[in-house]
Amino acid sequence: MAFFRTLNFSDPTPSVAGDGVLLRMPQVNDYDEWAALREQSRDFLTPWEPTWPVDDLTRSAFRRRIRRYAEDLRTDQGYTFLIFRSADLVMVGGLTLANIRRGVAQAGSLGYWMGQPYTRQGHMTASVRALVSFAFTTLRLHRLEAACIPTNVGSIRLLENTGFIREGYARSYLCINGLWQDHLLYGRLKDHL
């Protein structure tokens, strides 16, 4: 049983190819495209995300994110990816494998967002499938977890279509859009690829 990460610190930043998508770690030069997509999608994303800080879309805040992502990668605590459409390398969203726990757990938590113009086109389904494979093979995790607000039908459909099983219900689980929200809890095990 593997209890430690399998990536070498000297490895290049991981990227993951999926069906029509490329997942790659955010880079400083992604700022303009990222900020434009997030701003364009703000009203669409607001009900499903934590409240955005006032400076959320600034270049300095993005640089701080990049530093945090690099530290999470270095310490094997998280892997953050931007999602690009393979055909033209247009950014369509992002996803994160966070809160990685090693030792006897070998687990991590999935989070994701999709830019409004790119919803219902299969990009997130392909991205989650690619990340699941990366998590179970490259990172050698045993379990992935995800949670979503019960009214988020799109997320429920995404998780169930990518092999996640509903495991429970957590009251006031996360503070989303300024309110403590109940969440459905989902899990996916390596043995069920």
Q: What confidence tens digit (pLDDT) does each residue in 55-65 have?
A: 999 999 999 99
pLDDT at 14: 78
User: CA torsion, points 31, 34, 37, 38, in degrees to nearest 10?
Assistant: -100
Instruction: Please state the domain extents for the chain.
Output: 15-142
Query: Could you give phi then psi for residue 128, rounded to 5 degrees?
Result: -65, -45
C-alpha distances out from residue 138 to 8, 99, 132, 161, Å:
11, 17, 10, 22
pTM of the predicted protein model? 0.91
Length of the chain in terms of residues written: 193
- The CATH architecture to which 15-142 belongs is 3-Layer(aba) Sandwich (3.40)
pLDDT of residue 192: 66
For residue 193, the model assigns a pLDDT of 55
Q: What is the pLDDT along the chain (193 residues), one digit of tens a residue?
A: 344 444 444 455 679 999 999 999 999 999 999 999 999 999 999 999 999 999 999 999 999 999 999 999 999 999 999 999 999 999 999 999 999 999 999 999 999 999 999 999 999 999 999 999 999 999 999 999 999 999 999 999 999 999 999 999 999 999 999 999 999 999 999 986 5
Give burial (CB, 10 Å; 0-12/13-18/19+) of 55. exposed
Position 1 scores a pLDDT of 37
Give pLDDT, residue 4: 47
Task: Dig out the tokens for 152 from the structure.
Answer: 């988020």
